[in-house]
Amino acid sequence: MFSFGTVFTFALLLIPPTEAVDSSYVAAVYEHNLILNPDPRVPLSRLEALQHLQKNLDVFEVQAARAAQQGAQIIVFPEDGLHGFNFSRTSISAYLETVPDPEQESWNPCLEPLRHNNTEVLQQLSCMARRNNLYLVANMADLQPCSVSAAPSSCPPDGRWQFNTNVVFRSDGLLVARYHKYNLYFEAAFDAPPEPEIVTFDTPFAGKFGLITCFDILFQEPTVILVEKGVRQIIFPAAWMNQLPLLDIIQFQRAFSLGANVTLLAANIRNDQLIMTGSGIYTPFSATYHHAQRGDPEEGRLLVARVPVLDPEWLGHNAASGEAAAVDESPGYCYSDTCLDSPASTAPVFVSSMMYDPFTFALLNATDGEMRVCNGTFCCYLQYRWVEETGRTELYALGAFDGTHTVNGHYAVQVCALVRCAGSDASSCGQEVDEAESKLDFMLEGKFASRHVYPSVLSSGMVLEQPERVEAAADGRVSLKHSSVMGGLVTACLYGRMHHLDTA
């Protein structure tokens, strides 16, 4: 008989806040079908750049109004959503506007359009927020002058920084926050700021929000720093290219929200050619999201949801604010205290590439059982049972990886993953799959060298499932239990980021 056993004492309990007056707010994110510049490498005049920007601003205007009609108090638009991408440092010049620092200057571009020259985009975004009476977050291209003589090590030779920038406007149009993306992803047009910026802004309806952009979510600065400072609500504009089986954007958005115990307001670009889709409004106990399927019309999507306030200061440090730390003395998942150290499987292991990393895998061959797979000294443990054994033909494997990912980014990870293989041969394990029929009850466990571990369960058709239970122990052991899976299992993953091992 299948059982999840005993003795695992520390538990991560995700408890939604008690309903109270004004303890929730309405958020909106817009997945934007970007109108691109067809020749981004060719420099334009300012007028030509404005004509292009206006096409996307017009879409933003419509969606902001739609969100406001549905009661939204804040709306988030995606990274690169106005200007697009694939520019050179020179060809993006006409799109740049200098965004003043809201901590140094109070400015409402809608009411004071003449204070700064060449700020047409800022003015329109400000008026958009004001017209629709909501907080508005957008991403734009920002120019900041710098002195080569004063800062020769950081100021570019042309005497200006060009930043990938999030801007936030209050519901009356006041510019209240500016964040320069720190972790760039092959962005030749932009500079990383000399130092990472930890940027937050306050709202009257939900308290404090923090700002990050796309690739930032995988790194210590600024993302982990924000969370460690107690910021429980994160704004996440992105232009994310999906990669299964571990880093499709909705998969990782959900995992991050659960693992960091935060709300994440995530807006992505929609572009089929670049495999971009996936946006959502996530809390540790709910998810409202959209992920386009093959053959769906290539169009934008507005998501609106009511979510609980998680900012503990705004809630007055209410004990029911969703803080997620507790000791659970109830039966846990592992058969013994040394599950990860026991020879739980005699299945042969093999190495196969997943996400360009050499994972160590073992196949699930039995009807039910337990197994352990190690990559070096890092081991992953699995208990499993097929829910429907009759006629099963799909191949599954347990994989482990401990090392530095070096393709399309450079960062250290420890990963335990239960994946459906793409074919009937072991060599297909780790390849991209988005459909499955097999259903399993399982418990996946690893002992990680970091507290930053992100759990996810992805089922057939890009459907996210809320894990039945996630436990984190003081010794680094993290367990993910899930049963009654709604669809065929594509991936179950514990994705650990070893920030302390990152190298330049």
Nearest one of 253, 248, 278, 273 to 263, comparing CA atoms: 253
Q: Using H for helix, E for strand and C for coil, what is the string for 108-119?
A: CCCCCCCCCCCC
Q: One of 110, 127, 214, 379 is an active-site residue; which one?
A: 214
Query: What gap in Å lies between CA 37 and CA 95, rounded to an integer?
Result: 11
Token reading at 162: 């060009």
Instruction: Give the dihedral sign, CA 278/283/284/288.
Output: negative
In angstroms, the Cα distances linking 254 to 278, 456, 502 are 11, 7, 23
Q: One of 79, 97, 445, 465 is an active-site residue; which one?
A: 79
Nearest one of 365, 387, 389 to 487, comparing CA atoms: 387
> Does residue 270 contact residue 33 with C-beta atoms inside 8 Å?
yes
In which region does residue 110 sit, left (phi positive, over 0), alpha (psi from -120 to 50) or beta (all else)?
Answer: alpha
229 is catalytic: no
Secondary structure letter of residue 340 according to DSSP: G
| Peptide bond before residue 156 is cis, with ω within 30 degrees of 0 | no
Q: One of 31, 97, 127, 181 is an active-site residue; which one?
A: 181
416 is catalytic: no
Residue with tokens 């072991």: 426
- SS3 of 433, please? coil
Query: What gap in Å lies between CA 337 and CA 248, rounded to an integer?
Result: 33
Phi, psi (degrees; rounded to nearest 5) at 221? -110, 125
DSSP string for residues in 306-324:
EEE---TTTTTS-TTS---
Query: What gap in Å lies between CA 195 and CA 441, rounded to an integer?
Result: 46
Query: What gap in Å lies between CA 361 and CA 365, rounded to an integer?
Result: 12
What is the radius of gyration, based on Cα positions, of the chain? 23
Cβ-proximal residues to 350 (8 Å cutoff; 6+ apart), any chain: 360, 361, 362, 426
Give the chain's end-to-end CA distance (angstroms, integer).
Answer: 50
Q: What angle do the packed helices 120-132 and 46-69 form, to 10 degrees?
A: 10
465 is catalytic: no
Token reading at 227: 């969370």
Q: Looking at the chain, how many residues does it have?
A: 504
Q: Which residues are identified as catalytic?
A: 79, 181, 214
